[in-house]
Amino acid sequence: MKGDQTQSEIQKSCILSFPYRQTGMGGFDDTLILSLRKGKIIGSILHKSRTGNHGTRIYKVLPAKYLIYSVSRSNGGHIYAKVGIVRVDDECSIVSINEFLVDTVKDEVLKLDDLPREIRNILISNKDSLPLWGMVFPFDTDQGNAEQEG
């Protein structure tokens, strides 16, 4: 019976990977996963190409719900971002539960106040580590307000 309990208590960890890009022309792609329970960024491994312009960000996570922060900037400077809650299931598939999109080409600007309080609090506590933060939420930073006043 002890062997049965051990097998049922062990959860299979999942390996998730996301593309990474940082070009000399301003292009950028990255995805960060944050723990909903702890409110912190999950540790990852970033494998870059020899030039450092492209790569893969790899996570090892357990099946659970997570907050995902995915950003992209085109070489022309257009920002695309997705913030949302996802569930990693037992088969290691990512299932979107709720997502919020930002697309500067279509002038869809997301404000922190548009997000649920739990998501907003986690993002704000990690804002210094989230890439392109000031571009994704331009009206929710001191920098964005200073540019408008000047």
Among 40-44, 74-78, 135-139, where is mean pLDDT lowest? 135-139
- Residues 56-98 pLDDT 10s: 999 999 999 999 999 999 988 888 999 999 999 999 999 999 9
Q: What is the pLDDT averaged over residues 86-112?
A: 85
Residue 148 has pLDDT above 50, yes or no: no
102 pLDDT tier (thresholds 50, 70, 90): confident
Phi and psi at residue 140, to the nearest 5°:
-115, 15
CB 73, CB 28: distance < 8 Å:
yes
DSSP state of 42: P
Instruction: For the chain, list the domains and their CATH numbers.
Output: 11-138 (2.60.40)
For residue 112, the model assigns a pLDDT of 86
Residue type, 78: H
Question: How far does the chain reach from its first CA to its final CA, in angstroms?
Answer: 71
- Rounded to the nearest 5 degrees, what angle is found at the Cα of 33, between the Cα atoms of 31 and 35? 165
Residue 114, judged by CB atoms within 10 A of its CB (0-12, 13-18, 19+), counts as: middle
CB 28, CB 131: distance < 8 Å:
yes
